[in-house]
Structure 1
Amino acid sequence: MLTIIAGTNRPNSSTLKLAGYYQKKLLEKGVEAAILSLESLPDNLLKTDLYGKRSEAFKPIQAQIDASDKFIFIIPEYNGSFPGALKVLMDACDFPASFFDKKAALVGISSGKYGNIRGVDHFTGVCNYLNMHVFSLKLHIPFIRKEMDAENNLTQEDTIKFTEEQMDRFLKF
């Protein structure tokens, strides 16, 4: 199973919109992909699901992670890195089984001009520690609000080309 993780809990985020775009494009390629939006994380996750504890609210999230063998992480830039909510998700999941020996594609986005280069690099380190296989074609999409139209489709020809290439190659990875 392939899961697209929208790496922020911010409501109505560009991250979730891009995750939807990836899901739609993968379906056009004949591949079903689920989206895990961090908006669905339990409000009290820090108290209920860290350090070996497991709440009923987190069990479906853990089950989705367990059932997935490939992940596409859409990672927005927060303070020069990736969102804390994404790190909390990784920390809350069962270690090491949740991500061990699974595959990950990384897509950085930002409202500024660098497309979350540093955050994707930081998150690569987390993935490596968790023994994930990180796909080599990492994308960095700057000015994300200018990249998508009102229907949440990418509009820039080069970005469309690179996302298509990433998806096609990741499916073979």
Structure 2
Amino acid sequence: MTKDVINNMSTHMDKTIDALRKEYQRVRTGRASTGLLDEIKVDFYGTPSPINQVATLAVPEPRTITLQPWDAKMIPVIEKAIMNANLGLTPANDGKVIRLNIPPLTEERRKDIVKQLKKLAEDAKVAVRNIRRDAIDELKKQEKDKKISEDDLKRAEKEVQDVTNSHVAKIDEVFVHKEKEVMEV
């Protein structure tokens, strides 16, 4: 009984950390990443499609992203979608390939990004704590319904707290790694 609750809780916490990592991919650092373009939709013959489904994305250099559309007629549409995404990137094309040059970040901008990253990490920690609260509530309900003993409840609560602490530590680890990447000149 308690193992199911704890395993379920741990799975939800892992998903929270995965979501944080995905959020961090979307944050623009001084380094090129195709993850910056993940949320951009392009009007592909009347159908909004993710940009990676209409072009090949690559990072040939640390500060450059290239997009090679499968249909050359899509170049202006892709450029427009990138401009409308407000990424602060200006596409340049040579008729076949679109290049996005990632400008280096200023120190002030880096600090702003770190604040943004810290807020995302805090939000993830809050989510983990909410998951912990829900798990403890479920365990207390089981104890109230006499499905588990009071001793089992105490043991399970300790285990829940240990799992929570390990996930919070993972969130901190992910944050520190991303912070280091952002502050790198």
TM-score tier by shorter-chain length is under 0.3
Task: Compare relative contact order (CA 8 Å, sep 6+) and give the higher one, 1 or 2.
Answer: 2
* Normalised TM-score (structure 2): 0.26
Higher Cα Rg, which structure: 2
